[in-house]
């Protein structure tokens, strides 16, 4: 069995709770090193992975370690260059979502992937849940018929991720909840429809919670930080196949509890996913039926990290390919332009 040398760039939240535990659980992965510009970010690394090497400079890490696989777990602004540099260093790349800041960057990453003949997977972990696995299968068996409308969103009441930190600075993040949270639920809706081509989008964005002093903020705000992204984005997308999609995503709004959801409406049935729970609305014997699949079983139907190894070894088709993420970047870019212009925009 081949053993893969693995490195991670960025030692923040997503490296800690997703990438290192995910790759660390695989028998054919050797976790070699992690890099972060902030020395304090290594506290948990030293405690949980005492044997791995730490670097402050990622080109130095790539050069010294010569990894087979690299995860990109840094703020969105750095995804493109780090991905391209990792390809150049001979590694396959598992890059966090959103793929990049805009479509051009996504195209540059795809070009480099092909030039260096490497694999690229985007960390859209919601594609790898038991629920997503079930719905894809259910749809491919024809149970929903033709899906012509979807509605999705991720609405937080006071969930601004570190107001003033990189998530709320457009220059580092590319935008607010649309590019951060929307990317998950809009992606799932499109994935379930087999990635139709978006042709137009009409969106509005709002920033109403700058300087908000609530004690109930989920994530600690940073003092005197920049907050120049939207805290709510809403929109409507038309696809080339005639289907449409509406979305609502917020970091903060005066609503009830946080929820993330997508709903698919087809000619034979509908599916609602909300916070890890599924409901199917259909007909049987000319009678309405509601079905509640229990997808909360122990074994994961799909493992994002094992899947990437299978993709590298050409055993499986990439479930979260850069091409889909590029389409998403194009849609998000057009949605922001639509909101700025105050009118519908071609995608």
Ligand X SMILES: NC(=O)c1ccc[n+]([C@@H]2O[C@H](COP(=O)([O-])OP(=O)(O)OC[C@H]3O[C@@H](n4cnc5c(N)ncnc54)[C@H](O)[C@@H]3O)[C@@H](O)[C@H]2O)c1
Tell me which H or E stretch contains 70.
Answer: strand 69-72
**Can you tell me which of 73, 264, 331, 339 binds ligand X, judged by CB under 6 A?**
73
Provide, rounded to whole angstroms, the least separation between the CB of residue 243 and ligand X: 26
**Can you tell me which of 4, 6, 8, 11 binds ligand X, judged by CB under 6 A?**
11
Q: Which residue is nearest to ligand X (CB)?
A: 12
Task: Please give the Cα distance from 57 to 36 (Å, whole number).
Answer: 7
Tell me whether residue 7 or residue 139 sits nearer to ligand X (CB atom): 7
Residue 96 binds ligand X, judged by CB under 6 A: yes
Interactions with ligand X, residue window 115-174 (CB under 6 A): 123, 125, 166
Tell which phi-psi region holds residue 59, choosing left (phi > 0), alpha (psi between -120 and 50) or beta: alpha
Residue 71 binds ligand X, judged by CB under 6 A: no
Task: Kindly indicate which of the ranges 30-38, 136-144, 260-268, 290-298 contains the residues binding ligand X, using the contact rule CB under 6 A.
Answer: 30-38
Task: Please give the Cα distance from 39 to 55 (Å, whole number).
Answer: 9
Of 271, 180, 289, 168, give the one whose Cα is nearest residue 226: 168
Residue 65 binds ligand X, judged by CB under 6 A: no
Residue 35 binds ligand X, judged by CB under 6 A: yes
Task: Please give the Cα distance from 189 to 198 (Å, whole number).
Answer: 12
Tell me which H or E stretch contains 274.
Answer: strand 270-274
Residue 38 binds ligand X, judged by CB under 6 A: yes
Tell me which H or E stretch contains 13.
Answer: helix 13-14
**Can you tell me which of 12, 24, 145, 293 binds ligand X, judged by CB under 6 A?**
12
Which residues in 243-282 are b (16+ Cβ under 10 Å) and which e?
Answer: bbbbbbbbbbbeeeeeebbbbbbbeebbbebeeeebebeb
Tell me whether residue 54 or residue 204 sits nearer to ligand X (CB atom): 54
**Can you tell me which of 22, 67, 75, 270 binds ligand X, judged by CB under 6 A?**
75
Q: Write out the residues near ligand X by the rule CB under 6 A.
A: 9-15, 35-38, 41, 58, 73-76, 78, 96-97, 123, 125, 166, 180
């Amino acid at each position: 069995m081949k053993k893969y040398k693995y490195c991670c760039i960025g030692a923040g939240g997503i490296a800690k709770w997703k990438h290192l535990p995910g790759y660390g659980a695989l028998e054919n992965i050797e976790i070699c090193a992690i890099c972060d510009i902030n020395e304090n970010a290594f506290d948990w690394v030293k405690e949980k992975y005492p044997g791995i090497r730490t670097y402050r400079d990622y080109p130095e890490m790539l050069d010294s370690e010569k990894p087979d696989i690299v995860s990109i777990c840094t703020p969105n602004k750095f995804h493109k260059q780090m991905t391209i540099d990792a390809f150049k260093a001979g590694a396959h790349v598992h890059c966090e979502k959103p793929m990049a800041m805009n479509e051009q960057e996504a195209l540059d990453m795809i070009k480099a992937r092909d030039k260096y003949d490497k694999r690229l997977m985007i960390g859209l972990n919601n594609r790898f849940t038991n629920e997503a696995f079930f719905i894809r299968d259910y749809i491919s068996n024809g149970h929903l018929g033709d899906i012509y409308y979807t509605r999705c969103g991720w609405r937080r009441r006071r969930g601004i991720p570190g107001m003033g930190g990189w998530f709320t600075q457009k220059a580092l993040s590319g935008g607010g909840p649309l590019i951060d949270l929307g990317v998950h639920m809009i992606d799932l809706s499109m994935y379930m429809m087999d990635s139709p081509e978006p042709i137009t989008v009409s969106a509005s964005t709002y920033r109403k919670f700058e300087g908000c002093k609530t004690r109930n903020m989920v994530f600690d705000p940073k003092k005197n930080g920049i907050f120049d992204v939207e805290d709510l984005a809403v929109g409507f997308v038309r696809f080339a196949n005639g289907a449409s999609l509406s979305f609502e995503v917020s970091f903060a709004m005066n609503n009830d509890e946080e929820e993330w959801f997508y709903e698919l409406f087809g000619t034979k049935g509908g599916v609602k996913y909300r916070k890890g729970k599924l409901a199917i609305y259909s007909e049987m014997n000319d009678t309405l039926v509601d079905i509640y699949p229990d997808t909360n079983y122990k074994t994961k139907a799909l493992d994002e990290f094992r899947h990437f190894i299978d993709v590298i070894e050409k055993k499986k088709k990439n479930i979260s390919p850069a091409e889909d993420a590029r389409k998403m970047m194009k849609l998000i870019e057009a949605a922001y332009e639509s909101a700025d212009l105050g009118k519908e925009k071609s995608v």
